[in-house]
Amino acid sequence: MSRRLLEVKDLKVEFKLHGQGKVQAVDGVSFRVGDGASVALVGESGSGKSVTAQAILGILPSSARITGGEILFNDPSKPNAPPIDLVGLGTDSAAYRAIRGGRISMIFQEPMTSLSPLHTVGNQIVEAVRLHRDVSRSEAQALAGEMLAQVGFPHPTQALLS
């Protein structure tokens, strides 16, 4: 049985809307992500997919808050450590910042709002790698190529130049 890298249990997220009260955006979502697995969150527009991802990354808008559940992260670099409940960490804490981007990250759905058309995909990934790891530019380029291969890019070296 593969190790669970991430387990979301009964996650609840609500938004406080100015003059309109509260809206339950996520109500009891649960799923697991095992080592080496890919998981897709599927649902209609407005069903809470993006809010769930934002909750995991600790990047919810200021009008939102987690009102219940757990987000358990098993850091693969610390196989004997107990899982970290991300809900209990302060999203601005050093511990969360060390996890976000370096251990857990997200590829946003709309590339035109996430990537700059003025820079290559490779340069943007290399920049992100260097923000989260103490590596040289050439090491970051090699890591970026490995990352693209891991997520299924057929020609990762070519994609780095795009």
State mean pLDDT over 138-155.
87
83-120 pLDDT, tens digit per residue, is 999 999 988 888 888 888 778 877 666 666 666 777 78
DSSP state string for 46-100: TSSHHHHHHHHHT---TTEEEEEEEEEE--TT-TTSPPEEGGGS-TTSHHHHHHB
Query: What residues does each domain of the chain span?
Result: 4-89, 111-161
State mean pLDDT over 137-153.
87
Contact 59, 49 (CB under 8 A): no
Q: What is the mean pLDDT of the chain?
A: 86
> Which of the two residues, 108 and 133, has the higher pLDDT score?
133
> Which of the two residues, 114 and 4, has the higher pLDDT score?
4
pTM: 0.74
| Distance between CA atoms of residues 11 and 70, nearest Å | 6
68 falls in which pLDDT band (50, 70, 90)?
very high
17 falls in which pLDDT band (50, 70, 90)?
confident
25-38 pLDDT, tens digit per residue, is 999 999 999 988 88
The reported pLDDT for the residue numbered 65 is 95
40-65 pLDDT, tens digit per residue, is 888 898 899 999 999 999 999 999 99
Contact 85, 96 (CB under 8 A): no
